[in-house]
Amino acid sequence: MTLGAPVPGDGEVGSVSRETAPDDVRRAALLDVVPDFSEDTPLAAQLALDSRRRIELRGRKFAKPATTKIITVANQKGGVGKTTTTVNLAASLAQSGLNVLVIDNDPQGNASTALGIDHRTGTPSVYEVLVDEMPMAEAVQVSPEIPSLWCVPATLDLSGAEIELVSLVSRETRLRRALDDYLAHRDAVGEPRLDYVLVDCPPSLGLLTVNAFVTGREVLIPIQCEYYALEGLSQLLKTIEMIQSHLNRGLHVSTILLTMYDGRTNLAQQVAAEVREHFPAQTLRTSIPRSVRVSEAPSYGQTVMTYDPNSTGALAYLEAAREITERVAAADRAAEHHHQENA
C-alpha cells in the first residue's frame, strides 16, 4: 500500500461488500491493509496511526454511562490545553451518540467561543446562575454544529463573580445545586438524560474553581509535555484533597491527559514517562499531539472535531474520548457485578 494513499473504504473489502459486512468485520478488514511503521520514522508512523484511528472510530457509537458523569477539567497552570481539551472531548462524545453539556466557568469564555455559543455581555450565562440563582435551563444553549451538545456560556460578567460570591450564602455549592436542579428539570420535562457534563475552570484556585470542584464528581487534569509539566500539580492535588475533606467527599482525580505531545523530542517522551510513572492508573494511553488545526479551530467558532475531523488532533481527541467511555463502562460493569454479589 502506498504511503499517504486513500485507505480503501468504498465498494468491496475482500469478498464482503459494504452493504452486507457488519461494521466490525469491515473495520478489521480495513485495518489489515494499514502498514505498521516504527517510531524511527515518526511522520510515517503518525500517518499510519491516523489511518487506523479513522477506520476504528468513524461512525462508531460510544457506550452510554449508567449515570450522568460530571467531570471538572482543571489545572491552575495556564496554557496546558485545558479549555481545548474540554471542548474537543465534549464534541467527540457528542458526535459519538452521547448527550453532553459543557459548563464554561472561565470568565475568558473561550469554551463558549469554540462551541459557537453566543456569550456577549447580557447573554444569560453562568454568572446569572451563580450570582442571581437563575435556573440553568434558562442559560443553556445548543451548539450550532452538534445538536446533542449543549453549553452554559461564560460572559465577561463572570470576572466579577469571584468578589460577589464571597458574601453570598452557600457560595461554594451554588453551581452544584444549579446543575442538580437542571438535571432534575430535564428529567421532569422528558428531555434526554445527559451522559456527560464537563466543567471548564479558570487557571486559578478561587471561588469559581472551588464551585467547579464541588460540582464535579471527578477531575480530569490535562498536563502538557513540556518543562515544568508537574509544576503546581502538587498544589492542585492538595486543593482537591481539601475539597474532598470539607465539601465534596466523592471527588477524585480519575483522568490525566497528556497534551502538546511531540514524540520526536526526548523531553516529551521523558515527561510522558514521568507522568505515567506517578499516575499509572489515571493517565490515558492516548496523548494529544501538537496540532496547528486544533489551535486554528476556535478562531472559526468551532472545535477541531467539526473544523477538520480528519486531522491528527481531532482523531487523537476522539480516541481519548473513546478511552474515557470504555473506562466508565468497565467501572459500571464492575459496580453492577458487585451489586449483584451483595444482593
- Give the number of other Cβ atoms within 10 Å of residue 26's Cβ: 18
Residue 311, pLDDT > 60, answer: yes
Confidence at 38, pLDDT banded by 50, 70, 90: low
Buried b vs exposed e over 62-97: b needs ≥16 C-beta within 10 Å?
bbbbeebbbbbbbbbbeebbbbbbbbbbbbbbbbbe
E strand residue ranges, 1-136:
12-13, 16-17, 69-73, 100-104
pTM value is 0.85
Q: Domain coordinates of the chain in residue numbers?
A: 23-58, 65-335
* pLDDT value for 41: 55
**Domain 65-335: which CATH class?**
alpha beta
pLDDT single digits (tens) 321-334 = 999 999 999 999 99
* pLDDT value for 338: 80
Query: CA 145 → CA 70, 104, 162, 306, distances in Å?
Result: 22, 17, 32, 7
What's the one-letter identity of residue 320? Answer: A
As to burial, measured by CB atoms within 10 angstroms (0-12 exposed, 13-18 middle, 19+ buried), residue 10 is exposed
Q: Which residue has the higher pLDDT, 45 or 37?
A: 45
pLDDT single digits (tens) 170-186 = 999 999 999 999 999 99
